[in-house]
Amino acid sequence: MNKKTIGFFLHGTGFGGYETRMFNLIKWLLENTEIKIIIFTNQLVLDHYKDRFSFLKRIKSRVEVNYCIANFDNSISKIFNAIKLNYLLLKKFNSFDVLIGAEYLKNAPWISKFKKTIINIVHPNFLGQESSINIIEKLIYRYLFKNANKIDFLNPYIYKKVFEKFNFLTKEYCSITPCSFINHSRKKLEDMNKKNRIMWMGSFEEQKQPMLLLKAVNEISNFLIKKEYKVKFYGKGPLENKMRSFIKKNNLDEIVTISFTKNTHKVIEEASIFVSSQKYTNYPSQVLLEAMDNYCIPIATDVPDTELLVTEKNGFLFNSLDELTENLTKIVEKDESKLKELRIKSHDIAANHNLDRYANHFIKLIS
């Protein structure tokens, strides 16, 4: 197994947790095995993860990066990028033993027929809850899944939904990832620079529901000002203009800011409360895990699998705007000594989501 060459297909159009997890996994493989790595990716991913690629360059004898210039502004550009990546896969076809990729492998479904392929199913939105998946895409996914050697699901919720949509799948070659993982902080709670901050972090898109928190903050803005709390949104996405307009219209500039950061550790360390408002599942959100690891009080939507990270024993759950507003008020009003136990419990849960545990699962997948 240690002598294998593993191909990673990182054809991202956004910068979510999947690419971050895969780069951390690649680093672990290079440090703990003799596996060689070939990465198939695009310029967007290269630019966003410059620091990760800098590390890879230092051990380039075991790493090869193949990429195309990415431009996803229109359909023609998307087709061109898909063609270029397929060309790279054909060119390097005999150079790798196993190919690992997420749903983006739909851009090269043929590979699953001719090469050992492991598909990581990580995005619930690909299932088409909002009718986004068309007949052609379903046929492509059907072909991809039918020919894959193994399919690994990020959480039980996606596993269940995919089995409902593609009833030819069998449990023999499907698995559920045992955990997610992050770069854990080694600081203790007393060493954290906690401030009166409520934080939201992620892509500003409908399934992440950032507007829910904005509306809740608007309901209790005077209360938050009195308690000297600030609300920080970190991210980018299609809802950003709508969010900024809402802030301006409701005069929330005094307490609410929107920005973008690559230094998530630093800003999350300063937060007291973290809100995860995803529509379908909060498990295993990278930023939610990181917030819990940094002793934030988690507030999360009460949707499938969220209980694997957040319950009433270590945080707060909500099903509506009113419940979110009520939870925020409860936490802000509580004395810090009463919140300490929740912070420590959340940190301990996050600690169980570690790279060694995931890497051992991955080694079994490719064996």
What are the boundaries of each domain within the chain? 5-179+355-366, 189-351
Q: From 156, 169, 152, 172, select the one nearest 363 (Cα to Cα).
A: 152
Q: Which helix (H) or strand (E) holds 27?
A: helix 17-32
Residue length of the chain: 367
Which of the residues in the chain have pLDDT under 70? 1-2, 12-16, 52, 57, 60, 69-74, 124-133
What is the reported pLDDT for 131? 45
278: left (phi over 0), alpha (psi -120 to 50) or beta: beta
Helix, strand or coil, per DSSP, at residue 54: helix
What is the reported pLDDT for 67? 82
Contact 63, 56 (CB under 8 A): yes
Q: What is the pTM of this model?
A: 0.82
Q: How large is the C-alpha radius of gyration of the chain?
A: 21
The torsion of the CA quartet 42, 288, 106, 174, rounded to 10 degrees, works out to: 130
Amino acid at 182: I
What is the reported pLDDT for 132? 54
5-179+355-366 and 189-351, same CATH topology = yes
pLDDT tens digit string along 186-242?
A: 889 998 989 999 999 998 999 899 999 999 999 999 999 999 999 999 999 999 999
Q: Which CATH number is 5-179+355-366 given?
A: 3.40.50.2000
Cβ–Cβ contacts within 10 Å for residue 172, how many?
A: 7
Contact 100, 7 (CB under 8 A): yes
Cβ–Cβ contacts within 10 Å for residue 184, how many?
A: 16
Residue 209 token pair = 């529901």
Cα separation of 140 and 136, whole Å?
6
The torsion of the CA quartet 55, 60, 66, 68, rounded to 10 degrees, works out to: 50
* DSSP annotation string for 195-257: -SEEEEES--SGGG-HHHHHHHHHHTHHHHHHTT-EEEEE--STTHHHHHHHHHHTT-TTTEE
Q: From 355, 284, 286, select the one nearest 30 (Cα to Cα).
A: 355
pLDDT tens digit string along 250-262?
A: 999 999 999 998 7
Cα separation of 209 and 215, whole Å?
11
Q: Which fold has domain 189-351?
A: Rossmann fold (3.40.50)
